[in-house]
Amino acid sequence: MKIWGTGPFENEVGAAFAQEVVQDGEVALAEAFDVALDPDTDFLAAEEGWRAVAAAGVLDAALNGATAALTDAALRAWVEAAEPSILAPLREGAQEALARVLGPDSELPELWEDGEDAAGWRATVQQLRASLS
């Protein structure tokens, strides 16, 4: 998996997830959060973690206007047309999913552990979580 930054869409999974949102809308967001929060899963794999972070980034953009990270034109158009009242109920699931992404049963903190950008990645996810509160 290629990673080129600490942001929600600065990795292959997050960039690909943008297309899922354009195609499937809020269903893709809800699914990403549901998978991250699956109680039958003891360990959150990196791909599911990246999808949850990207979904939270989309939700933040749609609800709070945080569109700076949206480099995909189709995703930006989807966010601009999205109805906040439909997306607002996803806020709590997004916060819980991001907490799990940062938690001890998640692969992503392990992957970032030895990198020089580990603190930056963690700060990005924590800021995203705070923005959705």
Q: Is residue 83 part of a domain?
A: yes
pLDDT at residue 2 above 80?
no
pLDDT at site 9:
85
Average pLDDT over residues 92-107: 96
Q: Residue 116 — pLDDT band, cuts 50, 70, 90? A: confident
Q: Is residue 1 part of a domain?
A: no
The 3-state DSSP class for residue 3 equals: strand
Count up the domains in the chain and report the number: 1
The token pair that represents 113 in the structure block: 């552990």
39-97 confidence digits (pLDDT tens): 999 999 999 999 999 999 999 999 998 788 888 899 999 999 999 999 999 999 999 99
The token pair that represents 45 in the structure block: 């794999």
Q: Is residue 48 part of a domain?
A: yes
Q: Is residue 26 part of a domain?
A: yes
Q: Is residue 53 part of a domain?
A: yes
Q: What is the DSSP string of 60-78?
A: HHHHH---TT---HHHHHH
Q: Residue 1 — pLDDT band, cuts 50, 70, 90? A: low
Q: Is residue 47 part of a domain?
A: yes
Q: Residue 5 — pLDDT band, cuts 50, 70, 90? A: confident
Asked if 31 contacts 23 with a C-beta cutoff of 8 angstroms, the reply is no
Burial code of 23-32, b = ≥16 C-beta within 10 A, e = fewer?
Answer: eebbebbbeb
Q: Is residue 35 part of a domain?
A: yes
C-alpha dihedral over 130, 67, 60, 88, to 10 degrees? 140
Residue ranges making up the domain that contains 79: 12-131
At 101, which helix (H) or strand (E)?
helix 91-102
Asked if 49 contacts 36 with a C-beta cutoff of 8 angstroms, the reply is yes
pLDDT at site 4:
66
Which sign, positive or negative, has the C-alpha torsion 32, 13, 130, 38? positive
Q: With a threshold of 0.75, does the pTM exceed it?
A: yes
